[in-house]
Amino acid sequence: MTVNELKEKLDLKPLVEDDYDREVTDCYVGDLLSWVMGRAPADSAWLTVMGNINSIAVATLADCACILADCACIILVENAALDDNAREKADMHGVNILTTPMNSYKLAVEISKLI
Amino acid sequence: MRELSLNVMDVAQNSVRAQASLIRIDVTESDREDNLTISISDNGCGMTDEQVQQVIDPFFTTRTTRKVGLGVPLFKLSAEQTGGSFEIRSKVGEGTVTTASYVKSSVDMTPLGDINSTVKILIQCNPDIDFVFFHSTDTGSFTLDTRELREVLEGVSLDSPSVLEWIGDFLEENTQNIYGGALS
């Protein structure tokens, strides 16, 4: 399942588009960034309400080590806001971001049916 | 981080890397003023204004050296998400003061956590560096100063088991006192 297919099937609103052809193979839910950093699987859709610059950094830490997340996309749930400087950095570093009014639980349930 | 004491550990390790010989950790809590402030001061090599901006920016740090990483940005976030504030003051050749101030009653307040273990581990892992730890509440305060301990110890290293045990007991006892006798 690609980011684009998730977007179409779950009616997600695109906020930052870098590479929506990227494959999503897993899903992770979490808002405590230091926790997510060590645990989110690579190529996952990361569901969070944290739309700040640090979230973008967490999502791009792929080159660091395998224990750090390299997420396929961030999905901001419950229409959580994306900060302006976070949007800027996401554009710069190629982080896919989408948003939905659904909460994490409902979205994760839907994603589990698709991947 | 799940506990602020882990942020303290992270920043203090930056001080160690900055070749500090004295690191001061202040934790002042007040329910009356609805505030908790953590300050870590060192006499290490210090930073230029530009470097200070860089350690606050998660991208700069993750893209070049891994020395600071997301530690400082997440510490800053933890304070700001409670409605508090965060500041780094630094001067090259003099040292650095990192201060995080929290609105204690905020629902997004991260618990302080096991600050005593953090202090003890810092002393244990860096027996040649001096540490001053000050902790206060509305009830009272106490200070642990390894410079004073050294005078009494006459050459016995701070990382010897009996000294560490004494430090642990001292911290625990005094913490109970400033929390009004109840465990935190």
Which amino acid, one-letter code, is at A115?
Answer: I
Residue-level pLDDT at B2 = 85
Residues on chain A touching B62 (C-beta within 8 angstroms): 57, 60-61, 64
Query: Which pLDDT band, with edges at 50, 70 and 90, does B6 fall under?
Result: very high
CA–CA distance, B149 with A72 (Å, rounded to integer): 53
Q: How far apart are CA A65 and CA A61, in angstroms?
A: 8
Determine, for residues A54 and B58 on separate chains, whether the beta-carbon distance falls below 8 Å: yes
| Number of neighbouring beta carbons within 10 Å of residue B176 | 13
Residue B148 located in a structural domain: yes
Asked whether the beta carbons of residue A33 and residue B62 sit closer than 8 angstroms, the reply is no
pLDDT of residue B24: 98
What residues in A contact B67, CB-CB < 8 Å?
none
Which residues fall within 8 angstroms of residue A47, CB to CB, at 6 or more apart? Answer: A27, A28, A29, A30, A75, A77, A104, A107, A108
Residue B102 has pLDDT above 90, yes or no: yes
Please indicate, yes or no, if residue B183 is contained in any of the structural domains. no
| CATH number of the domain enclosing B51 | 3.30.565.10
Total domains present in chain B: 1
pLDDT of A60 higher than 50: yes
Query: Whole-angstrom Cα distance, residue A32 to residue A29?
Result: 10
- Min mean pLDDT across A34-43, B60-69, B139-148, B158-167 is at B60-69
Q: What architecture (CATH level 2) is domain A3-114?
A: 3-Layer(aba) Sandwich (3.40)
Range of the domain at B78: 4-178
β-bridge pairing A13-16 and A97-99: antiparallel
**A93 contacts chain B (CB < 8 A):** yes
Task: Tell me the average pLDDT across A80-87.
Answer: 94
Query: Taking all residues of chain B, what is their mean pLDDT, rounded to a whole number?
Result: 92
User: Is B113 within the bounds of a domain?
Assistant: yes
For B73, the enclosing helix (H) or strand (E) is helix B71-80
pLDDT tens digits, B43-93:
999 999 999 998 898 887 555 554 447 889 999 999 999 999 999 999 999
Contact B139, B178 (CB under 8 A): yes
pLDDT, mean of residues A86-93 = 91
**More confident: B69 or B173:** B173
DSSP state of A79: G
- Mean pLDDT check: name the lowest of A22-31, B9-18, B20-29, B175-184: B175-184
Q: Where along chain A do its domains lie? A: 3-114
Write the residue in A32, A56, A58 that is nearest to B2 by C-beta.
Answer: A32
Determine the residue among B54, B77, B78, B110 to mutate to test chain A binding: the one whose Cβ has the most chain A Cβ atoms within 10 Å: B77
Q: What is the ipTM of this complex?
A: 0.74
Residue B184 lies in a domain: no
Nearest residue to A92 via CA among A45, A59, A48, A66 = A59
- For β-strands A97-99 and A73-76, DSSP reports them as parallel
pTM of the model: 0.85
pLDDT class of A65 with cuts at 50, 70, 90 = very low
Measure Cα distances from B126 to A19, A78, B41, B56, B133 in Å.
Answer: 47, 46, 16, 26, 14
Q: Is A52 on the interface with B (CB under 8 A)?
A: yes
Confidence of residue B164 (pLDDT cuts 50, 70, 90): very high
Mean of the per-residue pLDDT values for chain A? Answer: 89
